[in-house]
Structure 1
Amino acid sequence: MIARSGPIIRMTTSKLSLSSKAKLSDGNLVPRLGLGVYEMSDHEASRAVTWALEAGYRHFDCAEWYYNEQSVGSAIARFLASPNCRIQRSDIFYCTKLQSNNGYDAAKRSIAQSLKKCGLGYIDLYLIHSPYGGKKKRLESWRAIEEAKDQGIIKSCWGPLVRAERFDHPVIVELAKKHSVTPAQVLIRFSLQRGYITIPKSVSKQRIIENADVFGFELDEQDMQQLLTLDEYLVTDWDPIGDPSA
């Protein structure tokens, strides 16, 4: 997929499960639930990815900025090479991201380094991690990414937006009690029902399993409306709409 704005996914099935996928605008499929590895050490990332694979995850969200691409890729490769493994590389969706917009040549080097570090043969999704760098350098970065997609090194590409979290809000806590789940599970389920691709991060085996256990309950229309009213425009990092360097 190559797009900078507008809808990027559409539902492929009305019934959600760990194997549910969304279709990108270029036709490629992405698992709706994945594991994030932000701020994980190499050891933590390796363990978390292994536990996630064992729990049924097939989508892994990495980044040049996380400095653990090699450990994530190695953990995936080891799992695929294990005697009892019944899946193959094509069943895995590996995403990584460009650290900064420093122009065409820098982006080409970053793509090559990320590909070498992960050791998976290709990158399923390559993102521009932040909007900063100015319009000229962003466009140069994008040109390098488009070329890599044309070469088959990258399957899909896009520029992402922002992230946020609110686990302690009374409404979320109350909904968690209603459904006998955790606040995190409520938010993951809400995100999935909204049609989003959802990437929770954890270094805990129990929480990795728990984060995938969100398909045994469903938020009703009233639950969803309650959660939708909580929007506070809580931007926790950059806001590309207000990028001062645009």
Structure 2
Amino acid sequence: MTHIPELLLNDGNRIPQLGFGVYKIPDAETPDAVLTAIDAGYRHIDTAAFYENERGVGEGIRQSGLDRDEVFVTTKVWWNQNGYDSTLRSFDESLDRLGFDSVDLFLIHWPAPKHDKYVDTWRALETIRDEGRARSIGVANFHIHHLERLARETDTVPAVNQVELHPWLPQAEVRAYGAEHGIVTEAWSPLARGRILGNEPLARIAAKHGVTPAQVVIRWQLQLGNVVIPKSVTPDRIRQNLDVFSFELDADDLATIATLESGERTGRDPDDLG
């Protein structure tokens, strides 16, 4: 069994640094994907209301035979449910679909600043945390100015900020702000939805270490100190994405990857959504 490092969150809880993402996996296929991931050694599953597969995540974990507290589960409130009361309702619905009494991490999926409801949404997350139904709370897709507003207007620093992050978009300023304020950075689309894997410099680094370009990028994420949640439905790739602890990128490798930054996103800019 692969030992996955854990990072300490600012609330005293711990999060496995490498998790399994289930974005775009159909609900009916999710239990098998989750079972494959758990069998490979993953103990961190990342879902969301928007993914429409929370039911499958819960079923896969139950079928695994593991105790609920052996698997770290994250879910999220979608931006069109932002707001205090609507977030509480959305969370109740997520728990019902998962079949759980609580989750390990609950996130605001997008700030949707044009709707101007993310501060009230954050206050709902504080309530859910205080009730013991989410052990940790955090945000996703927050720019620094969104985080600064939470700091001014609320009482809790997010435990996690989950953002699009890959060699084209390394998010250095967001990571630095997180490090300064005790917010763990978590990477979604860590492989740029697979688009970056044909990159020649990454291929050379992979050949040097006898691994795949995907393994290089995941290892890079870990060495940056990020939590990373690659997604696949292919059993071999699910296992391969976890097999990243037998090699280490050296300074030359890291310098080469640093040259790939282009600012390219595979998703929306958070200020443009909503």
* TM-score interval, normalised by the smaller of the two chains: 0.7 to 0.9
TM superposition outliers: structure 1 runs of 4+ over 3 Å: 133-136
Aligned partner (choices 234, 258, 269) of residue 228 of structure 1: 258
SS at match of 1:125: strand
Q: Which residue of 1 aligns with 2:56?
A: 71
Matches within 5 A, 1:172-187: 172-187=202-217
Q: Which residue of 2 aligns with 1:12?
A: none
SS at match of 2:8: strand
Whose helix proportion is higher, 1 or 2?
2
Question: Which letter does structure 1 place at the counterpart of 2:7?
Answer: A
Single out whichever of 136-145 and 171-180 deviates more from structure 2.
Answer: 136-145
Question: Which letter does structure 2 place at the counterpart of 1:123?
Answer: V
**How has the CA–CA distance of structure 1 residues 134 and 147 changed in structure 2, closer, same or farther, with 3 Å as cutoff?**
farther
Tell whether the 8 Å contact from 2:73 to 2:104 is kept in structure 1 after alignment: yes
SS at match of 1:22: strand
What TM-score comes out, normalization by structure 1 length?
A: 0.85
Give the distance between the partners of 1:138 and 1:181, measured in 2 at CA.
41
Residue 92 of structure 1 deviates from its aligned partner by: 1.0
Give the distance between the partners of 1:38 and 1:18, measured in 2 at CA.
24
Q: Which residue of 2 aligns with 1:93?
A: 72
Aligned partner (choices 19, 22, 31) of residue 34 of structure 1: 19
- The Cα RMSD (Å) is 1.6
Tell whether the 8 Å contact from 1:18 to 1:212 is kept in structure 2 after alignment: no
What TM-score comes out, normalization by structure 2 length?
A: 0.77
Gapped regions of structure 2 (runs ≥ 5): 142-162, 165-188
Give the distance between the partners of 1:192 and 1:184, measured in 2 at CA.
13
Question: Which letter does structure 1 place at the counterpart of 2:74?
Answer: C
Higher relative contact order (CA 8 A, sep 6+): 1
Give the distance between the partners of 1:104 and 1:98, measured in 2 at CA.
11
Per-residue CA deviations over 1:13-52 (Å, capped at 9, x if unaligned) read xxxx632101111111000111000000123211110011
Q: Which residue of 1 aligns with 2:106?
A: 126
Aligned residues: 222
Residue 135 of structure 1 deviates from its aligned partner by: 6.2
Question: Which letter does structure 2 place at the counterpart of 1:233?
Answer: G
Gapped regions of structure 1 (runs ≥ 5): 1-16, 81-86
**How has the CA–CA distance of structure 1 residues 104 and 46 changed in structure 2, closer, same or farther, with 3 Å as cutoff?**
same
Q: Percent identity?
A: 41
